């Protein structure tokens, strides 16, 4: 069963189990994900105008592992009842839409043209920097895209929004590293950005950079101070391999030739198990002295676009 078929069947099962329920309901909406329409199911509390996305993608993974749709729907019902008990009314307006909850995110330009017409964004070579409200709780988080209407209400420019997001603690303190190694146990070691010194002498000179939410973690490369610390640890400039929207791989420049780094990315994109999360066909390069990221041309092309200017300190 394909994903869109699963969502339709799950919606039917939820509707059957919700007969007589008055505290909440569900709605569906179609969003654009890298150029493709994707349907999601929203929890809607009675009397509220907002909807909270249900974890449908995770539910689909459960279905593929053999769990019946009816059982998945029962689990979702328990989740929605729990939402109704613990989520206060007007929670979104009072808590999510706060400037200090805004973080940057990286998405590909290609395939997101319709989305970009409705939201603030800053071009970054073949990518776009967009912005999300992030609210974390326990081991999970929710993100809501910042809209043009919001920054108009605040009186901000897109550059001011970028400055703000890069300096918010929820962004700066969420970076997470996976230690790249042939040793599986070492690969499983996760290190937060404030514990970077634990990586010893960077002996493998390669890191996977994401965030503690494993959600739009590739944008962690926009943290200039952090990138400088990593490059200082390597003792040189480094290549950035944009694995997907969730993470980037950082490799010391002297460890691999540029063509080999490009081949790693091409191989990853070709055999990725999550093609919808693809970020780019290009590798990037962090210049330690200039403190900037630039895109490297593929063998068959010449790069002409300029990067966004990512400041050291943002304006409030």
Q: How far apart are CA 199 and CA 191, in angstroms?
A: 8
How many whole angstroms separate alpha carbon 158 and alpha carbon 121? 7
3-state secondary structure (DSSP) of residue 187: helix
Quick one: 280 exposed, middle or buried, by C-beta within 10 A (0-12, 13-18, 19+)? buried
Residue 89 is encoded by which pair of tokens? 């009314």
Give 271-305 pLDDT, tens digit per residue.
Answer: 887 888 999 999 999 999 999 999 999 877 765 55
Closest CA to 291 of 242, 206, 195, 222: 222
In this structure, the chain runs to a length of: 316
The DSSP annotation for 133-195 comes to EEEEETTEEEEEE--HHHHHHHT--HHHHHHHHHH-HHHHTTEEEEE--SSHHHHT-EEEGGG
At 73-119, the pLDDT tens digits run 999 998 888 777 765 555 455 556 789 899 999 999 999 999 999 89
Q: Which two tokens stand for residue 108?
A: 């590909």
pTM beyond cutoff 0.85: no
Separation in Å, CA 309 to CA 124, 163, 272: 9, 10, 31
Measured in degrees and rounded to the nearest 5, phi and psi for residue 93 equal: -65, -35
Report pLDDT for 188: 44
User: What parts of the chain have a pLDDT lower than 50?
Assistant: 91, 137-140, 182-189, 313-316
β-pair partners for 31: 38
Query: Taking the C-alpha atoms of 114, 6, 20 and 44 in order, what is their torsion angle to the nearest 10 degrees?
Result: -30
Contact between 216 and 275 under an 8 Å Cβ cutoff? The reply is no
Predicted confidence at residue 234, as pLDDT, reads: 87
CB 246 within 8 A of CB 210: yes
């Amino acid at each position: 069963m394909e994903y869109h078929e699963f969502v339709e069947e799950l919606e039917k099962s939820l509707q059957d189990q919700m007969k007589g329920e008055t505290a909440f309901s569900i709605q569906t909406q179609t969003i654009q994900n890298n150029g493709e329409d994707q349907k999601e199911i929203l929890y809607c509390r009675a009397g509220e105008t907002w909807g909270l996305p249900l974890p449908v993608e995770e539910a689909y993974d459960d279905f593929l592992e053999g769990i019946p749709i009816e059982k998945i729907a029962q689990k979702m019902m328990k989740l929605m009842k729990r939402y109704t008990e613990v989520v206060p009314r007007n929670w979104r307006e009072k808590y999510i839409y706060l400037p200090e909850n805004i973080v940057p995110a990286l998405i590909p330009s290609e395939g997101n043209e319709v989305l970009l017409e409705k939201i603030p964004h800053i071009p970054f070579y073949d990518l776009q920097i967009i912005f999300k409200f992030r609210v974390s709780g326990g081991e999970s988080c929710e993100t809501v895209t910042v809209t043009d209407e919001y920054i108009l209400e605040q009186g901000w420019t897109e550059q001011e929004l970028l400055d703000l997001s890069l300096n918010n603690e929820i962004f700066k303190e969420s970076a997470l590293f996976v230690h790249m190694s042939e040793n599986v146990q070492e690969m499983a070691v996760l290190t937060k950005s404030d514990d970077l010194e634990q990586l010893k002498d960077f002996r493998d000179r390669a890191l996977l950079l994401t965030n503690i939410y494993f959600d739009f973690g590739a944008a962690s490369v926009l943290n200039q101070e952090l990138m400088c610390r990593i490059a200082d640890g390597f003792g040189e400039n480094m290549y950035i391999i944009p694995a997907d929207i969730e993470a980037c791989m950082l490799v010391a420049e002297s460890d691999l030739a540029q063509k080999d780094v490009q081949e790693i990315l091409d191989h990853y994109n070709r055999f990725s198990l999550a093609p919808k999360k693809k970020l780019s066909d290009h590798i990037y390069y962090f210049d330690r002295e200039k403190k900037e990221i630039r895109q490297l041309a593929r063998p068959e092309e010449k790069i002409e676009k300029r990067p966004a200017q990512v400041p050291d300190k943002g304006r409030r």
